[in-house]
Amino acid sequence: YTPYLGSCSSADASMWSFFTTVAGQDGEVDAEELQRCLTQSGITETYSPFSLETCRIMIAMLDKDYTGKMGFSEFKELWAAINAWKHNFLTVDQDRSGSVEHHELSQAIATMGYRLSPQTLNAIVKRYSKNGRIFFDDYVACCVKLRALTEFFRRRDHLQQGCVNFMYEDFLQGTMTI
């Protein structure tokens, strides 16, 4: 039973009370609170619960001020994003195997507008799959990372030439925390 999904009416008020419960005393949601609430909410349904790593990646994606925590607006944004990933995963898993395989990821990434070489795609599949199968948790981690790293790169690619001059410290701050 997931009260905050699929319904837009009066969702904001109940979302707020949900958020305050999850956030606890400090009024912000950290990675462990997020993992607990995702597991309890049943949002992953038959999929296995999200790893702490995926929760951290999702928070890092929204966490512009590097606090490692989410306020209410980020939390809402994340909730919507996870639902979008769920629908996306069902679409991408064309043979209904319950996981995304190499050719399915290749298509999905192309559909999202990325152009990656076969070598890069192979490396990504190796990194996020278990015996060639990418499950929901790792699929989300992979897609969120791909998007966050691409955004990080593009923000510095002022001339949009696909080429960026990075200082070491800037490179490290972006890539260590995503």
- Binds 124: which of Ca ion, its own copies, none (CB < 5-8 Å by kind): its own copies
Shortest CB 93 distance to its own copies, Å:
21
List C-alpha distances in Å: 163 to 56, 118, 156, 158.
28, 20, 9, 9
**142 close to 128: Cβ distance less than 8 angstroms:** yes
Q: Which of 38, 70, 82, 93 binds Ca ion (CB under 5 A)?
A: 93
- The separation between CA 65 and the C-alpha centre of its own chain, rounded to angstroms, equals 18
Using alpha carbons, select from 22, 37, 11 the residue that is nearest to residue 71.
22
Instruction: Return the sign of the alpha-carbon dihedral for residues 116, 121, 127, 128.
Output: positive
Q: Give me the residues that bind its own copies (CB under 8 A), please.
A: 31-32, 51-53, 56, 60, 66-68, 116-117, 119-120, 122-124, 126-127, 129-130, 142, 145-146, 149-150, 153, 157, 162-169, 171-173, 175-178
Q: Which is nearer to its own copies, 6 or 162 (CB)?
A: 162
Which 20-39 residues touch Ca ion, going by CB under 5 A? Answer: 23-24, 26, 28
